[in-house]
Amino acid sequence: MSDFDRRFARPSAVIDMSVDAGLRAFMLGVYNKLALGLVLSGALAYAFAYTPLASLFYVMEGSQPVGLTMIGMAIRWAPLVVLLAAGFLMRNPTPQSAAAIYWTIVSLIGSSLSVWFMIYQLGSVAQVFFITAAAFGGLSLWGYVTKKDLSGFGSFLIMGLFGIIIASVVNMFVHSSAISFVVSILGVLIFAGLTAYDTQRLKMTYYQLGGNEAAMGVATSYGALSLYLDFINLFQFLMSILGGNRR
């Protein structure tokens, strides 16, 4: 998950929340990049699921994936490696380097999402995607318009996120369907909250950057990445709960 400004965007004073043309342009840039990232991810997921490239990622039994190949494991963990490397090596990112990180991570995650197309029927995936999009849109809109300071709420959600990560790692060894279900429910709630929190955080970031074009270029890419990760995680947890119609 991007940490770009969990550092910059913590409200410390009352900020004029009135909407202006600059803020609209900034948020539109974030949402446009987010939308293009989701389109790219969907295209890559579909392509890797329905072409012979699937055999590079997955150990197959018939038409069903039962495990990951070495390449598949590398792709699965590569986004985290990219994020950690960027955090350590890019102390002063430029708009170009931030955009490169965004598109690299989107491409890697999109490729790994092919597993959903392989396990579930296309109609089931599409249905959950549109449910996710509707929920995400409403939550992001609320985060944008609310006057309530969500910074403390965000800290609580991030603690919860670490909790479900730990529970997920434990469940890799115990293989409990009950733990998996509880983690999925909590994951939906946590990423629903993070969607609103990250949207407000981006709005605060715009005001705090004070019109610095280069900084806003970086914030657009990192902001789109934060919302992209919120969307993808929300989709995957909802898919675990609602995804019927297995292939």
Residue pLDDT, tens place only, 48-73: 888 777 777 777 776 677 677 888 78
Residue 1 lies in a domain: no
Q: What's the one-letter identity of residue 188? A: V
DSSP 181-205: HHHHHHHHHHHHHHHHHHHHHHHHH
Which pLDDT tens digit goes with each residue over 28-38? 999 999 999 99
Alpha-carbon distance of 48 to 154, in angstroms, equals: 35
What does the alpha-carbon distance between residue 217 and residue 190 come to, in Å, rounded to a whole number? 28
Domain count for the chain: 1
Whether the CB-CB separation of 45 and 114 falls below 8 Å is answered with: yes
Is 247 a member of any domain? no
**12: helix, strand or coil:** coil
Give the domain extent around 96. 21-242
CB-based contact 105:79 (threshold 8 Å) = yes
13 within some domain? no
Confidence of residue 237 (pLDDT cuts 50, 70, 90): very high
Q: Is residue 30 part of a domain?
A: yes
223 is a domain residue: yes
Strand partners, 246: 120
Asked if the structure places residue 146 within a domain, the reply is yes
Give domain status of residue 112, yes or no: yes
Alpha-carbon gap, residue 1 to 15, rounded angstroms: 26
Structure tokens at 27: 């948020």
| Model confidence, pTM | 0.86
Residues 162-172, mean pLDDT to the nearest whole number:
88
What are the tens digits of pLDDT across the range 65-121?
767 788 878 888 888 888 888 878 777 889 999 999 999 999 999 988 888 888 888
Is 64 contained in some domain?
A: yes
